[in-house]
A and B are shown apart, each in its own frame.
Chain A
Amino acid sequence: MAGLAAAFGSGAMTNSIAELEDTDCILVIGSNTTENHPVIAARIKRAARLKHKTLIVIDPRRIDLVRHANLWVRQRPGTDIAVINGLMNVIIQENLQATDYVAARTEGFEALKDTVAKYTPEYVEQISGVPADQLRQVARLYAQAPAAAIVYTMGITQHTVGTDNVKSLANLAMLCGNVGIAGGGVNPLRGQNNVQGACDMGGLPNVFSGYQAVTDPAHRQKMAAAWGVGDLPDYVGMTMTDMLPAIPEGKLKALYIMGENPVISDPDADHAVAALKKLDFLVVQDIFLTETAQLADVVLPATTFAEKDGTFSNTERRVALIRRAVSAVGQSRPDWQIICDLSRRLGYDMDYANAEAIFNELRQVTPSYAGITYARLETEGGLQWPCPTTDHPGTMYLHKDKFARGLGQFFAIEHREPAELPDAEYPLTLTTGRVLYQYHTGTMSRRAVGLVEKAPECFVELAPEDASRYGIGEGERIKVRSRRGEITAKAQISKKAVPGTIFVPFHYGEAAANKLTIAAFDPVAKIPEYKVCAVQIEKG
């Protein structure tokens, strides 16, 4: 979430889920909310259907939310920046921007204005295929709403221009004074249940918990003192996507993987397997013998959420409890106990009576969590950080009166074409994503009877036009090939798809969509370009 951090000073979802029901306008872009975040979608649908709020959907696929939307904009995949610049062009042209807000709370507006000047609706129509008049309509609806919220997901970030996509959305929101108010904001919906928490807790190469930079000597000193060690490494570590290629180069010899399954989730999956096999030592800690665990030298059995205590932080920064409800299966142990067991053997005595004791330590060193306690979570329910003191009610929306970085930063951004475009040999565009009934790499969801019943196997969604062009019938097996690999799956002919673009969900190991995708990364966020790559198909 580097884009938001650069623009606002914090990468987290600015506003809250409940606010979505009562805002005036919701702009959903690059998020198939109904399938990926169904309960948030319920709020959005309630706003649109029952409370008559404006809903705008910008998405190449005819996703479910389109049914409930006032306006649906179908852009060519990979042209989001052009579309957003076009919206801002209209807003500035028609003088609909929040002039006082821009003057008082932001910087960089002049450069933005210069850049978007050339993105006239007609020019944007050429790039994106979005009719000029429709763009004008969207711009007016969004800009004239007293409070308008932007909601996005991986459809925005999983591009080589992902960070710039996010910055563009931040531009749009600030231009209309929509950041720092109830019902507004720029709201990335997090995919996995504790992505927010894993980031908050310093599960990142560059920061300790609470986003305290490892390169800052004061932060290192503070953590070293709290942890009772002499010194701490001062360099920015490698990201996951850097670590894999570092293995064959000999820059990484051992890997400790807790609860991740990169063999399915990594872009360019075959390379991931080859790399992991080259390690001197791989230890994997998980609840199942995943595709990744099978490559390990040692596998440590962990417990599920139902067998341990702890907290998760949801997409709206809300910290909530999980509680041990059943006893651990077999000899499995909670992940935290395993870490303590290992640490003791490596000469550092980690000893906690329970999860709460760990939480009490982390809140001492993590200012945004300082006011949250288990006792409060028990009695008050989930609390949203920042929550600096025990009498602080938690924070519903960020950047009220002042951005975390001081002034909001506009970034002047030009449209760029995706890293790989369809050509004569690979004439179709592939996008990947999730489906309602499955989750991530399927480790959990593919072991639940009902979910498997509804979504038993991988499929390739394609438009009726493409199906007849290739002579493919519903349910027939088709081969999808990219420059990197090939998979076979069933055809699902659907009006959801745009002609020329196919969609493959990424949950299925036996037809791992990520065998096809391109390991071209956004240079800042290091997020792979899952959303766009070029493929060919044939009957399989």
Chain B
Amino acid sequence: MAHSTLNINGTTVKFTPGQTILEAARDAGIDIPTLCYLKGTTPTGSCRVCVVEVEGARTLLPACSTPAAAGMVVQTESERVVAARKMVIELLLASGNHNCFVYAAQRDQGFKVEDAIFCEAEGECQLQALAERYQVFPPSYANPPDTKYYYEDNNSMIVRDFSKCIMCGRCVRACCERQVNLAIDIGYRGSHNKIVARGDYPYIDSDCVFCGECVQACPVGALLDKAARFQGRPWERTKVRSTCPYCGVGCQIDLHIKNGRIVKVTGADEIPNEGRLCVKGRFGWGFVHHPDRLTTPLIKENGSFREASWEEALDLTARRLQEIKDQDGADKIGGWCSARVTNEENYLFQKFMRAVIGTNHVDHCARL
């Protein structure tokens, strides 16, 4: 494809026609901060955090939704840009309960921990990161302390805390463009606008199918994975890349681990799911730590189970299989492997049945 060039911060940068200034910059390794921008969805240019100065343009332009043009001369951190960005960040901080950063920035000045707002997103919040980067403090003209915000905590998967919502619209685009579930939209246009499910019902009573895409897309702490609340700060968790144990799509997931337990699951930006998950992959991991898990081998005696050691259970199993093989023949023994265990285990299972027991009666539930 044809390449053209533009100039960003004095560097000549190549771009492909159709790319935005943001895409061209990112491809060239130039960082422009964004907030409402969500990869793979239509840019709305609504938050204006990504504004840049383009030579010849009267106003600052949002990089996420302005197409790159040949010969353009762009400044991404000019004085004018930084001033505008600071203003945007300040307004966003003023729009809700965002004083987490007050504590973080002012702890040396006698600020009391009790006065800080506890936020699950702290450390992962993109607004907090911007406030930090541009050294913006929550302004004094914030909403009065008794302002009421919508709060929804009536299902076991997702909490909605709109005291943190900055109306970036990422959740809506995640739901409608990435998952195409069409469950939420921006409602009550104007100054009372708010993210709503159909009829402004709570998620649990709406068309929402709890894929959690909106939670993963929310840059602040307005949409929370409920099971992860109070389960440690983001930086105390480790992430382990794995594959979803449910259906055959094989979505790539990150298991977030704290103290040897799964705290939450998020979608990894990899083929085939590119960040998406469904309700099972995201919220269905509870079986791993479930109290019903089998923790010891069991042997049935007189019709009921008793706990046994591995030695005992394995010895008994091996002895019985050997006896039946000797008395009745190997072809009187069958084995069912499983579509829910790994390739390695299925391979080993058929090897065991064929080479050790000596039977081809091996199957699994592919047909069901």
- Please list the residues of chain A having a beta carbon within 8 angstroms of any beta carbon in chain B: 1, 16-18, 36-40, 42, 45-46, 49-50, 68, 157, 189-206, 208-209, 214, 223-224, 227, 229, 232-233, 235-241, 243, 246, 251-260, 262, 265-267, 280-281, 283, 286-289, 293, 296-302, 304-308, 310-316, 318-327, 329-336, 338-343, 345-348, 350, 355, 358-359, 361-362, 366, 381-382, 436-437, 439-440, 443-445, 447-451, 453-454, 525-528, 530
Contacts and interface: CB of A to CB of B under 8 A. Distances in A.
**Nearest 7 CB-CB pairs, A to B?**
A330-B295, A314-B250, A310-B342, A237-B360, A259-B338, A190-B248, A38-B278
Interface in B335-366: 335-366
A50 B354 contact: no
B296 A283 contact: no
B2 interface: no
A85 to B, nearest CB: 25
B321 to A, nearest CB: 6
A42 B276 contact: yes
Contact of A345 (B292, B315, B337, B353): B315
B298 A298 contact: yes
B305 interface: yes
A258 B346 CA distance: 9
28 contacts: A45-B180, A46-B177, A197-B346, A198-B346, A203-B363, A238-B363, A240-B364, A256-B333, A258-B337, A266-B368, A280-B324, A289-B298, A298-B300, A298-B317, A298-B320, A306-B285, A310-B343, A322-B245, A325-B242, A334-B345, A339-B345, A342-B317, A347-B356, A382-B270, A444-B246, A448-B280, A450-B279, A527-B367
B359 A237 contact: yes
Contact of B240 (A40, A197, A258, A323): A323
A26 to B, nearest CB: 13
A436 B179 CA distance: 14
Contacts of A296: 298, 300
Interface stretch (B3-11, B192-200, B215-223, B256-264): B256-264
Contact of B366 (A198, A326, A362): A198
B129 interface: no
Given A205-B360, A301-B293, 18 more contacts: A37-B248, A38-B278, A39-B281, A192-B248, A193-B250, A205-B361, A232-B354, A236-B360, A287-B294, A299-B298, A307-B288, A314-B250, A332-B294, A362-B344, A382-B252, A382-B271, A439-B284, A447-B292
A362 B344 CA distance: 8
A535 B74 CA distance: 71
B58 to A, nearest CB: 33
Interface of B: 155-157, 177-180, 204, 209-211, 227, 240-252, 255, 257, 260-262, 270-273, 276-281, 283-290, 292-300, 305, 308, 310, 313-318, 320-322, 324, 328, 330-368
Given A254-B324, A322-B342, A448 B285 contact: yes
B341 A335 contact: yes
Contact of A286 (B294, B351, B356): B294
A224 B355 CA distance: 8
Contact of B242 (A38, A194, A253, A322): A322
Contacts of A348: 352, 355-356
Contacts of A200: 343
A316 B272 contact: yes
Contact of B362 (A202, A235, A526): A202
Contacts of B345: 258, 310, 334-336, 339
